Amino acid sequence: MVRAAMTSGPLDHAFARVFLSEMQRHAYTYDQISALSGVSRTRAHRLLAGRAPFYVGDVQRLTDAFELDAATVLQQVQAHMESAGQRDEEL
C-alpha cells in the first residue's frame, strides 16, 4: 500500500484506539510495548496517540505483541470506523 501523505487519518486513528485499549487492558508501558513489538518507543507513542500513520509492519508487530488475532483486530478497527462514521453523520 502506498500512502499519499505522511499524516494519520481515520483508519490510523481506529488502529490507535484498538491498540491503546489493549495497552491499557494489559497495563503495559510504552517501554514494554517497544520491547515486545520491536517498534521504537517514540514510534509506539506517536502511533497510539494517533499522530503517525500505521503501516502493515506496525500492525503486525503490535498484533503479535498483544497476542491478538489479526481478524479480531480488523473487526475492532471496522467497528471503530463505523461508529466514527455514525458520529460524523449525526453532526
Q: All 3 cell numbers of residue 37?
A: 513489538
pLDDT number for residue 91: 43
Domains assigned to the chain: 21-90 (1.10.260.40)
pTM score of the predicted model: 0.83
8-state DSSP, 17: H
Is the predicted pLDDT of residue 86 greater than 70, yes or no?
A: no
Q: How many other C-beta atoms are found inside a 10 Å radius of the C-beta of residue 40? A: 12
Q: What is the mean pLDDT of residues 58-79?
A: 96
Tens of pLDDT, residue by residue over 18-57, are 999 999 999 999 999 999 999 999 999 999 999 999 999 9
Q: Give Cβ neighbours of residue 55 (< 8 Å, ≥ 6 apart).
A: 1
